[in-house]
Amino acid sequence: MSKRINELKIHIDILDKQIDKIVKRNKKRNKYFCNKCATIYTTPEYLNDHECRYIWNINRDNLSAYVWQIPVAERNNYNKELDKIEVDYRETIYIKKELNIRLVELIENIQVLSNRCHKCKESSKSIQNCGCDMKHLLCESCCEELDGKCPICSQDIDLQMCQICMNIGHSHIEVNCGNNHKICSECFQRIITSSSNPLCPFCRNEI
């Protein structure tokens, strides 16, 4: 849309220059030219008093005697299209701003909900995934009450506690240190990406 607006403005500037040349040419002949309706008058009074009407869609085939009307009609058509596009463009920008505001509100709501326990509905900084396929979030106190099933969807879960971050889950990974040490996937990724020579956090063997 913005590309089309720039194209229209370029065309309008070119036609305005052509119309200025027509106006200057008529002044030399002591005639007065209206650059809106392309009418020529013999006195400035007639020009100022006439009822101007925009001309549109001039047919080039029937303008052998009125060829000066062509740039005026084309310029008027471009201006008409430009006005419509700019209105649509402003409406689009307004809608985009409204959507951005709504998006920010949704992100804030998601952040609030991501810090809320799905069981007790209380907000807490120690929210963690309980280990079920639905990835339900539980606070620390609700995690301590787990009995092998998710309290929301009742799925059986094999719970393990990561000895580094103390989060409870079932996605633990063996670190390949030779001593069968396991940690959660988040801690494992943090270890192998933080050093070029990662070590097991428990026995310090190379991974």
Q: Contact at 8 Å (CB) between 172 and 162?
A: yes
| Residue scoring higher pLDDT (201 or 140) | 201
pLDDT at 61 over 60: yes
The predicted model scores a pTM of: 0.42
Per cent of the chain over pLDDT 90 is 4
Q: Contact at 8 Å (CB) between 200 and 207?
A: yes
- Rounded to whole angstroms, the Cα distance separating 36 from 56 reads 10
- Rounded to whole angstroms, the Cα distance separating 124 from 115 reads 6
Confidence band, pLDDT 50/70/90 cuts, at residue 95? very high
Average pLDDT over the chain, rounded to an integer: 82
- Count, in order, helices (H) and strands (E) of the chain: 5, 8
Q: Contact at 8 Å (CB) between 36 and 52?
A: yes
Q: Using DSSP, state whether 137 is helix, strand or coil.
A: strand
Taking only the tens place, the pLDDT of each residue in 105-117 is: 888 887 777 778 8
pLDDT at 63 over 60: no
- Rounded to whole angstroms, the Cα distance separating 114 from 124 reads 9
Taking only the tens place, the pLDDT of each residue in 122-137 is: 877 667 777 777 888 8
Quick one: pLDDT at residue 97?
92
Strands (DSSP E) found in the chain: 32-33, 40-41, 128-129, 137-138, 160-161, 168-169, 172-174, 182-184
